[in-house]
Structure 1
Amino acid sequence: MVHITRGLLDVLLDMAREDEPDSVSVVLAATPAGEFERDIDVDPETPVLTTFYLPAAGGSVNAVFGVNLGTPAGRGRARFVSHPQGPLRPTREDDFAAAVIVAVPPWDDGSVRAFDRSGRTFELDVVDAEPPGESLVSE
């Protein structure tokens, strides 16, 4: 099962809608369920997808040296990809991760599926909760 917050899923679907007919491919990061401010009825150690990394971050270095600096080390074990022309499954052209969330038009909850890197379907659990706040300032 793949858990994703409602807010993140909505943002990803909006990005896909706005970029159509181009596709979107973004790295996703998770927060352990136990770090949420309220109980979300998921084991505390279970990762919940909460954030994404902008696709263009670190693009110049990646283009020249083949090193992705847009994703911090150890993060981003999931990816969201949109397929404006279908199919609602991963393709060979997609960048793979441990979990791949694929969306197609009309960009709603019924047009999104989660898969493992072999193309097997995962159940997608949309969690209606806000992730914990993050700060750039250490406390």
Structure 2
Amino acid sequence: MKSDPVAVTRPLLEALLELARDREPDPVSVALATRPAGDLEPTDGPGARLGTLSAVTPVFADFSFPDAGGAVNRVFGVDLGRPAGTTQGRFVSHPRGDTALATTDDLAPHVFVAVPPWTLDDVRAYDRGGVRTPLTVLAAASPATAADEDVTEGL
């Protein structure tokens, strides 16, 4: 059975890879959320162009910090870092280099698995059933991220 492609913004994926690189040798697991393609801003650089998708296509563009609400979660078992029902995916790192989805990974409708050396080519996407899905990296960002990039370009 062939899965539909899944789209992710390049800035999000680069930030997640940097997080995985910084946390190595420890693994990372991060909740991801989508935005409709029509809500995103085009960016310069490599990646598929935003106009190649329908405006309603869900694109992974946002994440929740893995440690947000950690103290409350450890004490009460309530995850405040991720609002219920708002995440459609998960990014996990496998520092030992296995690109396959593991049974110990926190499964979501879509899971991105990254391995060293933490480049865009070192990421695989899977559906909840463990079937590898085609991954489209977009030259686009959520509006807040695009604005942040514009501010830092002049520094």
Q: Same fold (TM over 0.5)?
A: yes
Match of 1:17 among 5, 14, 21: 21
Higher helix fraction (1 or 2)? 2
Question: How far did residue 59 of structure 1 move?
Answer: 1.3
C-alpha RMSD of matched pairs (Å):
1.5
Which of 103, 122, 125 does residue 114 from structure 2 map onto? 103
Give the alignment partner of residue 93 of structure 1, picking from 104, 107, 115. 104
Q: Which has the higher contact order (CA 8 A, sep 6+)?
A: 2
Residues 26-80 of structure 1 deviation map (CA, whole Å, 9 limit, x = unaligned): 0011111111245532111111111110111111222222221111232111000
Partner residue, 1:137: none
Partner of 2:151: none
TM-score by length of 1: 0.89
Q: TM-score, normalised by structure 2?
A: 0.80
Gaps of 5+ in 1: 135-139
1:116 matched to 2:116? The reply is: no
Asked if 1 retains the 8 angstrom alpha-carbon contact of 2:93 and 2:113, the reply is: yes
The whole-number CA distance in structure 2 between the counterparts of 1:37 and 1:8 is 13
Percent identical among aligned pairs is: 50
SS of the aligned residue for 1:106 comes to coil
Tell me if 1:56 matches 2:67.
yes
Whole-angstrom CA distance in 1 between matches of 2:102 and 2:34: 23
Asked whether the 8 Å contact 2:10–2:138 carries over to 1, the reply is yes
